[in-house]
Amino acid sequence: MRIIFSKQAELGIKAVLYLAVQPKGYLYNAAEISKELKVPKEFVAKILQRLTHSGIVSSKKGKTGGFSLKMNPKEIKLIDIIRSIDGEEAFEECVLGFESCSDEHPCPIHYRWAEIRQNIIDMFSEKSVADLREATIKKLKTLR
């Protein structure tokens, strides 16, 4: 059962937050980011490529290449990152995993979950990466 979004989307959020607090004009490779976030490099590289494809991150190939934010952190909402990794399905699937769960054919907790899910969507839609800058800096310091 996937409650809201995947581990890939979770890492995507972390990677974008990491890039958002770094000095502008620098590129960070997947190895640097994976070391800071304490996750496998291959996993980070795959997620960053998806974020590049969606236009949130930019990348430069080669020896001096790496990743940086393409968009202004004020314009990046957390929901944009989740949708770029997981698609719309992240917010449409039944929380209990039932197929064809809908208002017409609800699972046992369909209506209660719909309320909770909407609150979560609203929260991720309101918060930009820039809104989380200071909290991200503090959190990254605890990972070292």
Q: What is the largest CA-CA distance in the chain?
A: 55
The answer to whether residues 44 and 37 touch, using CB atoms and an 8 Å cutoff, is: yes
Query: From CA 57, how far away is CA 73, in angstroms rounded?
Result: 11
Q: How do residues 78-130 score in pLDDT, each as one tens digit?
A: 999 999 999 877 788 888 889 889 999 999 999 999 999 899 999 999 999 99
- Predicted TM-score (pTM) of this structure: 0.88
Query: From CA 22, how far away is CA 20, in angstroms rounded?
Result: 6
Q: Give residue 3's pLDDT.
A: 63
| Six token digits for residue 86 | 């997981």
Q: Give residue 1's pLDDT.
A: 44
Q: What is the DSSP string of 56-114?
A: SEEEE-STT-EEEESS-TTT-BHHHHHHHHH-GGGGTS-TT--TT-SSSS--TTHHHHH
- Domain-by-domain residue ranges, the chain? 7-143
CATH topology of domain 7-143: Arc Repressor Mutant, subunit A (1.10.10)
